[in-house]
Amino acid sequence: MIGHAVSFCFVCFCLATGKKCGRPPVVVNGDITTFLQKEYASSSSVEYKCQKFYSVKGQNKSFCNNGNWTETPICEEPCVISQEEMQNRGIELTETYNGKQYIQHDDFVVFKCKSGHVPQAFLSPDFTVWCHSGNIVYPQCNKEKSHRKPSTS
């Protein structure tokens, strides 16, 4: 039989083995984006999404592994820009950041001294500050001292 090709087709089905998992763990400030089930077969997964302004640390998926869930992500808290804190410290946001209320974890924000204020301790008038886990260190600007000579009346 010259000219005839013989082909074989093998289809493999992999059956999930191992213990099933119960409901996946809750992630603080995060939501599960996949359909929730009562139990999950080993090797199945769920996907997480952090709430607005929160940042995902780690994988956004968790897998069922023989009855146990793998490590879940962490939703890192954003920094909240406090108008009161800026007022008390004589600073404001630079034009690029003006109007922003939230800065995501591991992002930077730039402040500057308000008009009539000078940086404390001879620092640059623009301050780049890092947001880390909801914490931000605000720079300090003090009111500029008047250089007027006292009147001798």
Per-residue pLDDT of the chain (153 residues; tens, 9 = 90+): 455 444 443 443 344 468 999 999 999 999 999 999 999 999 999 999 999 999 999 999 999 999 999 999 999 999 999 999 999 999 999 888 888 899 999 999 999 999 999 888 766 667 899 999 999 999 999 998 865 555 555
DSSP 60-115: SEEEEETTEE-PPPEEEPPEEPPHHHHHHHTEEE-TTTTT--EE-TT-EEEEEEPT
Residue 31: partners with Cβ closer than 8 Å, 6 or more residues away: 48, 49, 50, 51
Domains of the chain: 30-75 (2.10.70.10), 79-143 (2.10.70.10)
Q: How many CB atoms lie within 10 A of CB 45?
A: 15
